[in-house]
């Protein structure tokens, strides 16, 4: 007992300073935690970035606090909501949901081949999947409101520009999430199918789709949630939906009607968000 206690006092502590697999007596020095100077320097850099951003955008706390009284006046004019206006916006909300549904469906269908082309494990040629990813990034760069304005200029006023804008946005979102998931699937079944002579289409149908179906459905539901919110404001540029009523009531300063539209939109978004979340929980 005496010898054991003496050895424990003079030998380095095992497990606390070693990596797994290191030999006896080999002490691995762990990196020291960052010092106070590093934290202080990080804080100074963040404050400098905030100050420079506020200066370049002419934002100040004075203007923020100065706008509070006007904001309070606006809120008072929005309440109580004019509930009699509710019957006028039901069709607009249904049109918004239909736009989101059609746009998401079109985008999801197009996203399937796009995601396969972008996946490095399914498309080994980098001269194909790198340009495809670049185009996908370019699509996601353009805001959906700008897309709707461009399609309105081409196709005219109505829900068609809104549907096309939502479809393009859905392609960018769903294809991005899908090809990243594709690159993490189990390669074992694919290698086994390749060994028995299956072609690429059979690999995708019998090896990729069963592993990806639940995640892909989850991404489509997520895109539908976002598209319902986005479709609600596309009417501001003439792309149909409930946004047309936003533009009309705000233009005539009828804020009590605007509050009815906001509350109705909130209820619809909460319902879709709840249902979509429950469906994703069942799938994953």
Nearest to 123 by CA among 38, 204, 58, 55: 204
Confidence of residue 7 (pLDDT cuts 50, 70, 90): very low
Asked if pLDDT for residue 263 goes beyond 50, the answer is: yes
Q: What are the structure tokens assigned to 71, written together?
A: 């904001």
Q: What is the rounded average pLDDT for all residues in the chain? A: 82
Q: pTM for the whole thing?
A: 0.74
Tell me the three state secondary structure of residue 117. Answer: helix
Per-residue pLDDT at 48: 94
User: Where is average pLDDT lowest: 10-14, 97-101, 273-277?
Assistant: 10-14
What would the pLDDT profile of 29-44 be if each residue is shown by its tens digit? 677 777 778 889 999 9
Per-residue pLDDT at 79: 84
| 111-115 own/partner pairs: CB under 8 Å, 24+ apart | 111/170, 111/171, 111/174, 111/175, 111/178, 112/178, 112/216, 114/171, 114/175, 114/179, 115/174, 115/175, 115/178, 115/179, 115/182
Question: d(Cα 284, Cα 281) in Å, to the nearest integer?
Answer: 5
User: How many alpha carbons fall within 13 Å on the CB side of residue 3?
Assistant: 0
- Burial state string for 197-232 with b = 16 or more CB within 10 A and e = fewer than 16: ebeeeebbeebbeebbeebbbbbbbbbbbbbbebbb
Question: d(Cα 52, Cα 40) in Å, to the nearest integer?
Answer: 18
DSSP code of 58? T
Tell me the Cα Rg of the chain. 28
What would the pLDDT profile of 202-261 be if each residue is shown by its tens digit? 888 888 888 888 889 889 988 998 888 888 888 778 777 888 888 888 888 888 899 999
Q: What are the structure tokens assigned to 187, written together?
A: 């390669």
Confidence of residue 164 (pLDDT cuts 50, 70, 90): very high
What is the secondary structure of 128-176 as a DSSP string?
Answer: HHHHHHHHHHHHHHS-HHHHHHHHHHHH-SSHHHHHHHHHHHHHHHHHH
Confidence of residue 22 (pLDDT cuts 50, 70, 90): low
Question: d(Cα 80, Cα 67) in Å, to the nearest integer?
Answer: 22
Average pLDDT on 264-269 reads 88
H helix runs in the chain, sequence order: 2-10, 36-56, 61-78, 86-118, 126-141, 144-155, 159-182, 188-195, 200-203, 209-234, 243-251, 255-283
Nearest to 229 by CA among 177, 187, 276, 189: 276
Average pLDDT on 84-111 reads 90
The vertex-136 CA angle with 133 and 137, nearest 5°, equals 90
Asked if pLDDT for residue 107 goes beyond 90, the answer is: yes
Confidence of residue 15 (pLDDT cuts 50, 70, 90): very low
Average pLDDT on 97-125 reads 89
Asked if pLDDT for residue 24 goes beyond 80, the answer is: no
What would the pLDDT profile of 58-71 be if each residue is shown by its tens digit? 888 788 888 888 88
Confidence of residue 178 (pLDDT cuts 50, 70, 90): very high
Confidence of residue 152 (pLDDT cuts 50, 70, 90): confident
Tell which wins on pLDDT, 8 or 96.
Answer: 96
Confidence of residue 102 (pLDDT cuts 50, 70, 90): very high
């Amino acid at each position: 007992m005496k010898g054991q206690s003496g050895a424990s006092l003079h030998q380095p502590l095992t497990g606390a300073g070693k990596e797994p697999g290191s030999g006896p007596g080999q002490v691995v020095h762990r990196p020291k935690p960052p010092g106070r100077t590093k934290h202080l320097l990080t804080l100074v850099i963040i404050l400098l970035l905030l100050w420079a951003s506020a200066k370049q955008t002419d934002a100040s706390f004075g203007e923020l606090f100065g706008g509070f009284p006007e904001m309070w006046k606006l809120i008072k004019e929005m309440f109580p909501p004019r509930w009699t206006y509710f019957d006028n916006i039901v069709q607009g909300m249904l049109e918004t949901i239909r736009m989101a549904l059609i746009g998401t469906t079109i985008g999801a269908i197009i996203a399937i081949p796009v995601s396969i082309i972008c996946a490095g494990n399914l498309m080994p040629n980098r001269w194909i999947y790198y340009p495809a990813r670049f185009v996908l990034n370019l699509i996601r760069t353009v805001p959906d409101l700008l897309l709707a304005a461009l399609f309105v200029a081409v196709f005219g006023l109505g829900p068609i520009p809104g549907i096309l804008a939502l479809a393009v946005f859905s392609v960018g979102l769903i294809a991005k999430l899908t090809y990243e998931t594709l690159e993490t699937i189990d390669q074992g079944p694919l290698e086994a199918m390749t060994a028995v002579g299956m072609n690429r289409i059979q690999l995708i149908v019998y090896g990729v789709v069963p592993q990806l179906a639940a995640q892909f459905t989850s991404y489509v539901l997520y895109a539908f949630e976002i598209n319902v919110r986005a479709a609600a404001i596309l009417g501001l540029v003439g792309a149909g939906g409930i946004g047309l009523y936003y533009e009309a009531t705000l233009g005539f300063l009828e804020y009590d009607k605007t509050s009815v539209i906001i509350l109705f939109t909130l209820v619809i978004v909460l319902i879709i968000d709840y249902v979509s979340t429950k469906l994703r929980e069942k799938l994953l």
